[in-house]
Structure 1
Amino acid sequence: MSAAGQTTVPFTVPSFAGEVSDAVVKVLDSGWVTTGPQTAAFEQDFADFLGAAHVVAVASCTTALELCLRAMDLPPGSAVLTPSLTFCGAINAILHAGHRPVLVDIDEDTLVPSPETVAAAAARTRPAAMVVQNQGGYPVDVAALTEAAGLDRTRVVEDAAHGPGAARDGAPVGSSSYAACFSFYATKNMPIGEGGAVATSDPDFADRVRAMRLHGMSKDSWKRYLPGGSWRYDVKSIGLKANMTDIQASIGRAQLAALPGWQRTRGELVARYDAALADLPGLVLPQRDLAGVQHAWHLYQVRVPDRDALIAELEAAGVATSVHFIPASHMTSYRAVLGEEECGRVPVTDRVAEELLSLPLYPGLSPDGQDRVVTALTGALRARS
């Protein structure tokens, strides 16, 4: 309840397909709950959805990013370009893989790096790889950023945690990437609770990631315990404990079937926000309607004046919001690792990050709930004009 006694409009509520419970019970009854046949089936289902050649299911998007960087066999301490406006897990993945993040500034309209900001960052270092992010569901132009960085496509990891449902020039995010990493965290467009996946066009890269998600073992337990299987295995590379379970995969298969409908609902909610908020003073709406861009609308990120005070006013009115993200350059640990000079290289990020506000956006958001968000935000902004 808010201070005024109103029921809060949550920032997000995960949606679950009706078939999820039955799917989980079937796995429990099967006697095999860890990585096995359901995980393999989910990987194929998700690959078919994306139009990708290969998908490897893993524990999270963060581990997916780290596994991809490890599988690239970069020299230790390599420079890896990354936006500063990203979730801390993406920075941690670079550091845990043994490399050095190099911060890239953003374009203030799209909230993602541009070829110009990537080229500027690449010019001051010798990047060995790059992580690019689909901020809020906006699909980055991976090919253009790869060229700007002076890198081969085999050295670019696409952080598509916000990406399911997005496309560029008709190609779904992850459909042809060398390495695209997805998230199925509880707040994401296709929530499982926890989980992630790597989509890749390269079969050898898929095999490396598949082995490294289970310590680098040459055979997982499902293959070892199939009829005729052997208990023997080898460890050819150092990996992580980062596998998805069949319980998670069974949820994912049911959720995937519901995802297209949820994406249509997100689009309808975005259209209602656009119409209601178009003329508010001081408000900048999210970028959209660019040629060839299909937004996934994981987030509805607006830019507002006096953001922190506005958050408190909305909370008092019963409306929960969030911020995506606190830049890496503002975090104590990263400042200590990267240094003050490196953290000062992203002035647009620093300025825009103070204005960003994510409004409630999820398939279960009712028209009444959305109207309450609009009313509270309208009142707060008009009072400032």
Structure 2
Amino acid sequence: MRKGLLCIMIAIIFAITACSSGKSNETTGASSTTPSETSETPAANEPAADDKQLPRVAFVYIGVPGDGGWTYQHDQGRLMLEKELGIKATVVENVPEGADAERVFTELAQKNDIIFGTSFGYMDAMYNVAQKFPKVKFLHATGYKTAPNMSTYMGREYQSAYLVGLAAGKMTKNNQIGYVAAFPIPEVIYTINAFTLGAQSVNPDITVDVVWSNTWFDPTVERQAAVSLLDKGVDILAAYQDSPASLQAAAERDKFGIGNDSDMNKYAPDHYITNNVFNWGPYYVNAVKSIMDGTWKSESYWGTMKEGIVDIAPLGKNVPEDVKKLVEAKRQEILDGKFNVFNGPIFDQDGKQRLAEGEPLKDEDILSMTWFVKGIVGTVPK
């Protein structure tokens, strides 16, 4: 996502104060060091209805839409953009973070007006290229660096994570839940914390055992991590990667599982609870429209569930009706602005009180979170 390393946390605080799991530079999911362009070059000279040229738009993906998760959801957003605005975007898949990304962004900037980078690890590369092409608009998923021609965008997935945890908390039979975490960065940490708070809201005795895969998409490694948790006795398994490996491992043990990013029901329909989903389409449409009409300004966008950028997938067929009703009621409270996930009292896993009764956690503190809440088993690597 996509997401950064712990050494950049302080910078995040400054970024959110000034305006606002991205992928890490350690991504293992890229399947090629030679990116492949999968869409035709856009018809740059095709006029729009108002006789203005349609902007030339490009998307850069860390993986492929076939991952069934993160990249798939971004690609669905691209398809919505194309359908609504009549734009044929250029897509470049399997772009590793680092030097390759900077090369790809440079090449695209010579041919396009708008470029979307959908992995956190693209941040520095995109920022560097943005300085060289001030007339091109760059939009970066989950990062924190901005420029006059570069914005960031993300959704508050901790809101949906709380609901997923609520469902898991109602369905666990032994109060032991497992979580296969990706990288130890704030986005992953605050999502796991929100999930845990949701589970504990129905049963404070629940524990969430966390193991780190240090991957975004590596089904073999993620499956191994999942099995290690199942061997410890967890009866529900959640994960933060782009693959359904953990969900499938849980199903093979006749345990309930939770996916990530996109509706993963199809991978284990008899053992599926739900998961966080992103809906990027409306953001992509609105962003491009604002560029076309001249109202676009650089920003750090962190969209809410009410805005539709995050939500949960439909609950699985074997989730009891009372659980579905409870989750929907809490979801409505979030939509109505009546419930804040990170509202005190909140204690960390060492028993230290982080938030007093009724105190809300500030955005900059969420975005720089490096600690686990009470009830999580496992550590945040330093």
Higher helix share: 1
Normalised TM-score (structure 1): 0.28
Normalised TM-score (structure 2): 0.28
